[in-house]
Chains A and B, each alone.
Chain A
Amino acid sequence: MDKEGIRGIVDEIAALASGSDRMNLMEVCGTHTVSLFRTGAKSLLPETVRLVSGPGCPVCVTSQAYIDLAGELALRPDTTVCTYGDMVRVPGRRGSLEALRAEGAKVAVVYSARDALAYARRNPERHAVFLAVGFETTTPATAATVLEAENEGLKNFYILGGHKRIIPAMHTLLSAGEVPIDGFLCPGHVSVVIGAGAYEPIASHYRKPCVVAGFELEGMLRAILLLVRQAVRYEARVENTYGAAVTVEGNRAARELTERVFEPSDAVWRAMGRIPESGLDLRPAYRRYDAMDRFGLSFGSEVTPHGCLCGEVIQGKALPTECALFRKKCTPREPVGPCMVSMEGTCAAWYKYGPARAEGGGNR
């Protein structure tokens, strides 16, 4: 779509929103946070429409106690921790995995769960533990990997379970009622798996508009337009602007794979605490792949770095710029909290992409 077309959508948003108070729309997903900046969408929106980030970055919501366990594992002489790159820089109590690696901890960066499995295969004399994090999009891949390990009879592959489910987290946010939210920009990738229908209860029970969007500028702006339109009309429905990829019921095969291997369980989210049914545990038949069981681990206590507002940021209660450490003590070079580490982290996005100058809209 050309600039005029984009302008048209933006003007329509501005016209609709002009009569009401400032509207708060939450982008649940970290990739939306980054894309909204990267495409310039934030700078195009009127002051009356404010986007706040939600708990949709898998790195940011992972508890610090989890990072500490990963560190403990990596320091064992016979164990290698295999992880997505973002995770190695998140500070734990004893430092990040990156820092521990310099002290001799074994950490291998992988791009997928299957890479971790391949590592286990290549190094039969070591235990390979995959840090299984991510939302509904990555879970099926982890499940498939566990099944593959089972098929092959691999004895040195484990996962440290950290997968999360987004809908329970949205429930928790809304029932706490502390954050004014006028609608949700729902994640494209996650919705491919769970389906647009998964947001029905959010829309009907809490009366919040939910619109699924992909990650290009036009799609995101269209979704914002639909959200604003619903909000000013006091409607609350699920709509989907990512119809090419997202159906109402989602990807059944992917969900079945997850259900075969995992069962819902309570999980601890960074700063949000324990959320019922928001995590996934290996089913008893696959428990032997659970690193917690195998190595007799248990979660320690959570210690939040002094002054860090990450917990507020991922719940839409604070903007990165409201954190006293932002750009000062906390930078991508020396991150204090995970929001500054992750590629999808809200603070990292604000740091990288804007706001550039004082002039311009309230979203910059």
Chain B
Amino acid sequence: MSGAGRIVMAHGGGGEATRLLLEERIVSKLGNPILDPLTDGAVLHPPDGPICFTTDSYVVRPLEFPGGDIGRLAVCGTVNDLAVMGARPLALSLGLILEEGLPFDLLDRIVDGVAAAAEEAGVPIVTGDTKVIERRGDDGMLINTAGVGTLREDARLGAARVEPGDALLISGRIAEHGLAVLSVRENLAFDTDIRSDAAPLYGLVDRLLGSGADVRFLRDPTRSGLAGVLADLAEETGFALEVEEEAIPITAAVLHTADLLGLDPLTIANEGKVVAVVAGADAPRALEALRSHPLGRRAAVIGRVTESEPPLVELLTRGGGRRLVQRPYGEDLPRIC
């Protein structure tokens, strides 16, 4: 194979091939005044208050899935980590690890995904790195992103501020990202149109914090789903949570597909949702703020913090029953039959 149209080891050698790869396929798409000089580091001007700094690596497979790709995911994930800390994202770094054999057109689409998501989030990519590694299996790539943001003064967030009587909200429909990825992994295709919800959430969080509601805790329910966040919350606060299944926004297609696969939608990943705990009396105001943003149109109050012992998460099921909600161990898998 000539390697034409694909990444080869020479692209990582630091020579002309590297320069061309960066200029033609990456920097040209992400360009901004801070990145363009391609110096060894980005110079940022310190804000007044404290800064928030975060990093995450993205290894999702397949690289593209309905509603997104690894590039979009990498930007959204890091922006959202900042957002739920109550930080306004300022700048991101982008580390690409490309596997030999990766087709250029796939790389192009993914860098486009990065560019579009960064634009949507209003955050520049200010520094980065690209490495090429030997082919290991299927054509692949990994992404690491780091982000800095300025902590908002009005964000006083933390499990320690959560109290019995607080309301639990979610910004929209759950379980779409995880199922979208699963739908294309291996041959597990089903004929529903489930798309990843990957989206940058700072704008939504900004609405919520700006609403004047006393927001006490924010978290994005990513890998272990809503169940993971709720279990963490109960553990970190020492309070119990009561959640109403009926109130949790979810589409019929997602519900049905999860059911078919034997998966609990509560444990399926989301990439564009936020879970909020607000003072009970402020719930209506918080809900209205979330719903006023396009990414929060389906927001709902889904439960409350209570005092009961031990600190567990209980789900009041659709039919009026009760059961426990726990974080999954590892990743839930479709059942055998």
By beta carbon, the residue of chain A nearest B333 is: A85
Most A CB within 10 A of own CB, among B308, B322, B337: B337
By beta carbon, the residue of chain B nearest A190 is: B337
Tell me which residues across on chain B come within 8 A of A110, comparing CB atoms: 186
Task: Report the minimum CB–CB distance from B279 to chain A (whole Å).
Answer: 26
By beta carbon, the residue of chain B nearest A29 is: B337
Task: Report the minimum CB–CB distance from B240 to chain A (whole Å).
Answer: 9
Task: Report the minimum CB–CB distance from B254 to chain A (whole Å).
Answer: 15
Contact B319 A111, beta carbon cutoff 8 Å: no
Instruction: Tell me, in angstroms, the Cα distance from A332 to B329 when the chains sit together.
Output: 6
Contact B329 A353, beta carbon cutoff 8 Å: no
Does A138 reach chain B (CB closer than 8 Å)?
A: yes
Knowing A41-B319, A86-B336, A137-B337 touch, does A112 contact B188 (C-beta < 8 A)? yes
Does B100 reach chain A (CB closer than 8 Å)?
A: no
| Among A40, A118, A351, contact of B322 (Cβ-Cβ < 8 Å) | A40
Tell me which residues across on chain A come within 8 A of B333, comparing CB atoms: 84-86, 109, 343
Knowing A134-B336, A137-B337, A343-B262 touch, does A44 contact B329 (C-beta < 8 A)? no
Which of A30-38, A203-211, A223-231, A268-276 lies at the binding interface?
A30-38
Does B283 reach chain A (CB closer than 8 Å)?
A: no
Knowing A111-B188, A332-B329, A344-B262 touch, does A356 contact B319 (C-beta < 8 A)? no
- How many of chain A's residues have a CB under 8 angstroms from any CB in B? 52
Does A135 reach chain B (CB closer than 8 Å)?
A: yes
Instruction: Tell me, in angstroms, the Cα distance from A221 to B321 when the chains sit together.
Output: 12
Most A CB within 10 A of own CB, among B188, B264, B308, B333: B333
Does A39 reach chain B (CB closer than 8 Å)?
A: yes
Tell me which residues across on chain B come within 8 A of A3, comparing CB atoms: 318-320
Contact B324 A343, beta carbon cutoff 8 Å: no
Task: Report the minimum CB–CB distance from B327 to chain A (whole Å).
Answer: 10
Contact with B along A109-126 (1 / 0, CB 8 A): 111101100100000000
Instruction: Tell me, in angstroms, the Cα distance from A205 to B25 when the chains sit together.
Output: 73
Instruction: Tell me, in angstroms, the Cα distance from A129 to B317 when the chains sit together.
Output: 41
Does A215 reach chain B (CB closer than 8 Å)?
A: yes
Does A354 reach chain B (CB closer than 8 Å)?
A: yes
By beta carbon, the residue of chain B nearest A350 is: B324
Instruction: Tell me, in angstroms, the Cα distance from A364 to B332 when the chains sit together.
Output: 23
Q: How large is the interface on B (under 10, 10 to 19, 20 to 34, 35 or more residues)?
A: 20 to 34
Tell me which residues across on chain B come within 8 A of A135, comparing CB atoms: 337
Does A360 reach chain B (CB closer than 8 Å)?
A: yes
Contact A40 B323, beta carbon cutoff 8 Å: yes
Tell me which residues across on chain B come within 8 A of A1, comparing CB atoms: 319
Tell me which residues across on chain B come within 8 A of A6, comparing CB atoms: 319-320
Does B326 reach chain A (CB closer than 8 Å)?
A: yes
Task: Report the minimum CB–CB distance from A111 to chain B (whole Å).
Answer: 5
Within B230-275, the residues touching A (CB, 8 Å) are 259, 262, 264
Within B289-332, the residues touching A (CB, 8 Å) are 308, 312, 314-324, 326, 329, 332
Within A181-238, the residues touching B (CB, 8 Å) are 189-190, 215-218, 221
Does B156 reach chain A (CB closer than 8 Å)?
A: no
Does A7 reach chain B (CB closer than 8 Å)?
A: yes
Task: Report the minimum CB–CB distance from A276 to chain B (whole Å).
Answer: 23
Instruction: Tell me, in angstroms, the Cα distance from A113 to B160 when the chains sit together.
Output: 49
Instruction: Tell me, in angstroms, the Cα distance from A333 to B259 when the chains sit together.
Output: 24
Task: Report the minimum CB–CB distance from B60 to chain A (whole Å).
Answer: 16
Does B185 reach chain A (CB closer than 8 Å)?
A: yes
Contact A356 B314, beta carbon cutoff 8 Å: yes
Tell me which residues across on chain B come within 8 A of A351, comparing CB atoms: 326
| Among A38, A109, A190, A332, contact of B264 (Cβ-Cβ < 8 Å) | A38
Task: Report the minimum CB–CB distance from B305 to chain A (whole Å).
Answer: 16
Instruction: Tell me, in angstroms, the Cα distance from A118 to B337 when the chains sit together.
Output: 19
Contact with A along B103-118 (1 / 0, CB 8 A): 0000000000000000
Instruction: Tell me, in angstroms, the Cα distance from A349 to B336 when the chains sit together.
Output: 16
Contact A218 B336, beta carbon cutoff 8 Å: no
| Among B259, B321, B332, contact of A44 (Cβ-Cβ < 8 Å) | B321
Contact A343 B335, beta carbon cutoff 8 Å: yes
By beta carbon, the residue of chain A nearest B259 is: A215
By beta carbon, the residue of chain A nearest B264 is: A38
Contact with B along A313-355 (1 / 0, CB 8 A): 0000000000000000000110000000001100000011111
Instruction: Tell me, in angstroms, the Cα distance from A237 to B209 when the chains sit together.
Output: 61
Knowing A58-B336, A111-B334 touch, does A40 contact B262 (C-beta < 8 A)? no
Does B39 reach chain A (CB closer than 8 Å)?
A: no
| Among B186, B259, B308, B316, contact of A111 (Cβ-Cβ < 8 Å) | B186
What are 11 A-to-B residue pairs whose CB atoms are below 8 Å? A31-B262, A39-B319, A40-B317, A41-B321, A42-B323, A44-B319, A86-B335, A217-B317, A217-B318, A332-B329, A344-B262
Closest 5 CB pairs of A and B: A40-B321, A40-B317, A137-B337, A85-B333, A332-B329
Chain A residues with CB under 8 Å of chain B are 1, 3, 6-7, 30-31, 34, 37-44, 58-59, 84-86, 109-112, 114-115, 118, 133-135, 137-138, 189-190, 215-218, 221, 332-333, 343-344, 351-357, 360, 364
